[in-house]
Structure 1
Amino acid sequence: MEKRFAPQAHRLYLWMGVVLIVTYLIGFFPMAEFLPPPSPGWSAERLSTWLVEHRLGTQLACVTMILGATLCGPWGAALTIWTRRTESRFPLLHTTQVISLGCGVCLIVLVNIVWAAAAFRAGETSPQVTQALWDMGWFLFIFAVPPFIAWFVSLALGILWNPPEHQHFPRWSAYLTLALCLNWVTDVVIIFFKGGQWTYSGFTGMWLIFGTFSLWVYVMTYLGFKAVARQERICRQENADGVYHAAAEETHHTARIPVG
């Protein structure tokens, strides 16, 4: 059992998951006015005109959402760390989670960069170029799901295979995560449709995954807080000094400095 545990840092990073969803909701709805977003069935001219009319809102939304997207990294790390002991000296699942999470964060950051670029030149460049950039942003947002699936599967297996003494997340949360992966597999079909519910602006193509992912973030954040509280209790039971406090450690090192 590790003697140092910083619950404050864990709770801070877990709260970033809540901020992530809130910032994306603010960016999506009141700022970008994606109610619904422009359809891939629109002509290039119509899309370019829409972006010109919504330029400021889209730009503000991209600023807001790119800040929120960055928080996915520390929040995901706050979950990943709890499956580290599943594999002892050979943490294959843990390493896969870290790599896949990093790829996922890069993707959702790039989404907002591409959308911002499309809005930046809308009305000044070719409508076809604007439309291509816009489509690319949505493809990064929805179509590029394999890194997230790799992260979720590794996280779910880490929970399921965790030794009982290190089991901080209930097994049903792993099955919930795997079910979300099955839902995400269907998103690759958006490349075949420009109209209907399977497009990147349709219910099945976008809204279903957006809603289920948001719900999953809140569920896992809640379970993360419970895991932190459980670890605190374990630390207190095993050793009164098990919970690490930076101030106490600093005092300890100061006391060891020789005088004179």
Structure 2
Amino acid sequence: MKVRARYVWGEEGTGVMSAKRVQLWSLYSVFGFIALFLIGWVLLARMVPPPSPTNSAEQMARFFRDHLVGIRVGMVLALFASALLLPWGGAICTQMLRVEGSRAPLTWAWAAAQGCVVIEFVYPCAFWLVAAFRPDDASRVQTFHDLGWLPFLGIVCTGMFQMVALAVITLGDRRVEPVYPRWFAYFQLWCVLGVGLTFGVWIFKSGPLAWDGLLGFWTPVIAYFVWVVVTTILTGRAIVNDDQPHPGGHTLADRVALLEAELTALRLQVTPPTRSVGAAVNRTTHSRMELQP
């Protein structure tokens, strides 16, 4: 007989929602982020290829005036799309907890870093929107345009930490069927190298390390994109293959089993004293009978 468990939002038997489905929807929301961010950032705002850091203030102001509507609409779209990185990170942390357990410093640090990553996507979009707010002020446009690109590419320490943390957790998983395959750890370290050279955007205005260069833009952006896609695919497989019962008892069968276990434990605690009391009563009665003449 199939047991149907009722959730707050529906019934598992009817297929409305389940714990795995919540994780998978959270995980695959990142593809919505990728699609919306690329539409806003690339197609509408035309930020790719990046404007040269050597452009004058007037050149940048002209760029914003020529694409004013596209920049405003595109950056708003990209800004809101960045929120989809939060459930994606939550789904990954859920699988990391399977390896670390309840005491999970790397998992919680990874989650905090993911919050920082979202900010690192949101604030550049906001700075570009501020630049588009007064496109006639050339110096203002150039300043906020720089404030958008420099942290967007230059602050990669949080993403690098996430890659290293995932590598450490993957290598530390000694089970026969690990959550992530071992090669995934070395893939993480390669991605660290791919995004690590963006420090040059803070220093160079031209050349491969500038924000429009091969090592300053194209290599880290492609490496990060590949990292997101591969991490998503492998995390999806880990979620599907996770057959462990949920410790919180999400299904009716789980809850019944937990209640039965608790009831059995209570019976074991109560039964011995009851027997002892009964035996004591019998001994007392027997003694009284012996004392009677």
Moved more, 221-230 or 28-37: 28-37
Shift of 1:85: 3.6
1:186 aligns with 2:197: yes
What is the aligned partner in structure 1 of residue 142 from structure 2? 131
Calculate percent identity across the aligned residue pairs: 27
Which structure has the higher relative contact order (CA within 8 Å, separation 6+)?
1
Are the counterparts in 1 of residues 195 and 224 from structure 2 also a CA contact under 8 Å? no
In 2, Cα distance between equivalents of 1:184 and 1:173? 17
**What is the TM-score normalised by the length of structure 2?**
0.75
Aligned residue type for 1:223: L
Deviations 1:62-102 (A, max 9, x none): 11111221111110121122111433343111121011111
1:112 aligns with 2:135: no
Aligned residue type for 2:240: A
Shift of 1:109: 0.9
Deviations 1:116-153 (A, max 9, x none): 11111111x3x222111111111121001111112221
Report SS of the residue matched to 1:196: coil
In 2, Cα distance between equivalents of 1:133 and 1:140? 11
- State the Cα RMSD in Å: 2.4
In 2, Cα distance between equivalents of 1:55 and 1:63? 12
In 1, Cα distance between equivalents of 2:150 and 2:210? 10
In 2, Cα distance between equivalents of 1:118 and 1:244? 49
Shift of 1:180: 1.0
Shift of 1:166: 6.7
Any unmatched runs of 5+ in structure 2?
1-6, 8-17, 257-293
What is the aligned partner in structure 2 of residue 164 from structure 1? 175
User: Aligned pair count?
Assistant: 238
In 2, Cα distance between equivalents of 1:35 and 1:96? 32
In 2, Cα distance between equivalents of 1:129 and 1:105? 25
What is the aligned partner in structure 2 of residue 52 from structure 1? 65
1:64 aligns with 2:77: yes
Q: Which runs of 4+ in 1 moved over 2 A?
A: 85-90, 242-245
1:207 aligns with 2:183: no
68 and 166 in structure 1: CA distance in 2 versus 1, 3 angstrom threshold: farther
Are the counterparts in 2 of residues 80 and 155 from structure 1 also a CA contact under 8 Å? no
What is the aligned partner in structure 1 of residue 22 from structure 2? 9
The structure that has the greater radius of gyration is: 2
In 2, Cα distance between equivalents of 1:179 and 1:35? 25
Aligned residue type for 1:220: T
Are the counterparts in 2 of residues 189 and 198 from structure 1 also a CA contact under 8 Å? yes
142 and 37 in structure 1: CA distance in 2 versus 1, 3 angstrom threshold: same
